[in-house]
Amino acid sequence: MNDLDTLVQAAQADFAAARQGAALEDAKARFLGKSGRITELLKGLGAMPPEQKKSRGAEINQAKGAIEAALQARREQLAEAELDAQLQAEALDVTLPGRGRGIGGLHPVSRTIERIEAIFGSMGFDVAEGPEIETDWMSFTALNNPENHPARSMQDTFYVDVKDAGGRWLCLRPHTSPMQVRYAQAHAAKHVGTQAMPEIRVIAPGRVYRVDSDATHSPMFHQVEGLWLGANVSFKDLKVVFADFVRQFFETDDFDVRFRPSFFPFTEPSAEIDIRFGSGPLAGRWLEVAGSGQVHPNVVRNYGLDPETNIGFAFGVGADRFAMLRYGVDDLRLMFDGDLRFLSQFR
């Protein structure tokens, strides 16, 4: 084997050892580059006698051709390997199951509120929403709460570190009842001077807040306020409407409704509304589901209306309570823990 065969073999071995394009180009430079081995040999020809120069030149060119061919072959190999690796890395296994979007769902309390809105909506009630940060006047004074009423205390109501124009702390509304006042005031303003003012029929669902926390109380919970005010809306109307609501909500006729005398500053007379199912898992027990009463004349005055000609009733239901009764949930905290194992059952 002559020196040129050895050189060609060395180049083939170096090319084979190169695992990447850059290493291969380095190897190429060692043989074919400006000061590569082949180039040096060709330069050396100049010093040779003419007859030797011709045959040696031909041999070197042959070796050069062999090295160039080896280089080209290795380049193709590497390019192919690179493509293979890329295809493998980007391989898409079409047999894998999709990742899915996770079908969301409404929270059971939201579903319940939507249900309550739909039922009262079908009975001609408007749906109103209002602020969760409320003034002291809307929360208490307008609703005929005496100045020293315990509901105003820090132990019962969350206050916000901001005062209203009258210098009173704002609070997180402890009930939805301020919406009676907000809605009725807007209604009165809209119909000022009207001969026969249209009735008010509205429900106002939303979050309320109280300093309270155990298995049956959460510092945030949901109520739906109701107000029906007209020329002569009576307790009898309330009973019919409420019973109809219960019938539609629970999809049963098999229940009794009872009014139990109670006290609220904003109604007179006042009553708790209890229901008792005749069948099903809750059968036989009286369940307290709402507070209610005929709207107190002082409150009607605070609406901006005449209590002689605007008579009616208000009620407040616990939306969480209705959700728990409907879905058979016995711990209120489950509703607000955010545990998907619980929540996903309602989607």
Give residues in contact with ligand DAH (CB under 6 A).
Answer: 175, 177, 225, 264, 267, 291-293, 314-316
* Closest separation in Å from C-beta 132 to ligand DAH: 14
Give the torsion through C-alpha atoms of 180, 182, 185, 186, to 10 deg.
-120
* Closest separation in Å from C-beta 251 to ligand DAH: 25
**Contact call for residues 325 and 313 (beta carbons, < 8 A):** no
Between 31 and 264, whose beta carbon lies closer to ligand DAH?
264
- What backbone torsions phi and psi does residue 336 show, to the nearest 5 degrees? -120, 5
Q: DSSP for 34-51, please give it.
A: TTSHHHHHHHHGGGS-HH
Between 108 and 291, whose beta carbon lies closer to ligand DAH?
291
Between 175 and 187, whose beta carbon lies closer to ligand DAH?
175
Between 4 and 290, whose beta carbon lies closer to ligand DAH?
290
* Closest separation in Å from C-beta 183 to ligand DAH: 12
β-pair type (267-277, 255-264): antiparallel
Q: Which residues, in sequence order, are CB contacts of 247 under 8 Å at separation 6+?
A: 253, 255
* Closest separation in Å from C-beta 314 to ligand DAH: 3
Between 15 and 140, whose beta carbon lies closer to ligand DAH?
140
Q: Is 2 exposed, middle or buried (0-12, 13-18, 19+ CB in 10 A)?
A: exposed
* Closest separation in Å from C-beta 99 to ligand DAH: 45
**Contact call for residues 199 and 160 (beta carbons, < 8 A):** no
